[in-house]
Amino acid sequence: MRDHVVQVALETLASEGVAGFTTRKVAADASTSTPAVYELFGDKAGLVRELFFEGFRLLRGHYDTLEPSDDPVEDLIGLTQLTRSFALENPELVQVMFSRPFAHFDPGPDETQAGAEVRELIVGHVRRGVESGNLEGDPTDIAHGLLALTLGLAGAQMSSRLGTSRASINRRWDQAVRALLRGYGPRHSLK
């Protein structure tokens, strides 16, 4: 029952958005009662908390499709493209994961730990770039910058602020990500 309600909650979040997401709506869509949802999750914050966890599980699964190559920088670009596709496919869920749109849900230590596996994967890919000499800097700092840029670009794309053609949108994505990574490149290689 718990898994069913979480799946329905993901669907409800996707269809209704943050503003229309209610425990009552989730319960109705899951063919159960609001008290039953509260029994499973405690309250609406508990349900949102479960969506937060599920979001990071899904994102990690998305990242697992990346086949590492011998080029750590190109792998990072591939990772940003996976983040992009995940964000475009799950915009409301990405809000829950990274923007705190629900006033009654404030991620604590357990929630921070939920994202640790994803964070470690991204930092690990950046570390490969640093260790290979293609990037310079603290891997965690670079990973934060890369993720922030990626989420910002995804938001701009979703709100039609990156252009009108697929070619211009893709070009702007590629230019921005590569420019950021060049900025972390060895100082002698900057152009």
**Both 103 and 145 in a single domain?**
yes
Burial status of residue 108 (CB atoms within 10 A of its CB: 0-12, 13-18, 19 or more): exposed
User: Predicted confidence band at 6 (pLDDT cuts at 50, 70, 90)?
Assistant: very high
**Both 62 and 146 in a single domain?**
yes
pLDDT at res. 187: 76
pTM, rounded to two decimals: 0.87
Per-residue pLDDT at 146 exceeds 70: yes
Give the number of domains in the chain.
2
- Determine, yes or no, domain membership for 115: yes
pLDDT at res. 189: 54
Q: List the one residue out of 69, 79, 181, 67 whose CA is nearest residue 130.
A: 181
Per-residue pLDDT at 110 exceeds 90: no
**Both 37 and 84 in a single domain?**
no
- Determine, yes or no, domain membership for 67: yes
Which tokens hold the place of 53? 């966890």
Percent of the chain with pLDDT over 70: 96
What mean pLDDT comes out for the span 144-164? 95
Per-residue pLDDT at 150 exceeds 90: yes
Percent of the chain with pLDDT over 90: 77
Half-sphere exposure of 173 (CA within 13 A, CB side): 25
Q: How far is CA 17 from the centre of its chain?
A: 16
**Both 28 and 68 in a single domain?**
no
Tens of pLDDT, residues 26-76:
999 999 999 999 999 999 989 998 998 899 999 999 999 999 999 999 999
Domain range for 27: 1-42
- Determine, yes or no, domain membership for 47: no
**Both 75 and 1 in a single domain?**
no
Asked if 37 and 30 touch (Cβ cutoff 8 Å), the reply is yes
SS (H, E, C) 17-28: HHHHCCHHHHHH
- Determine, yes or no, domain membership for 48: no
Per-residue pLDDT at 103 exceeds 70: no
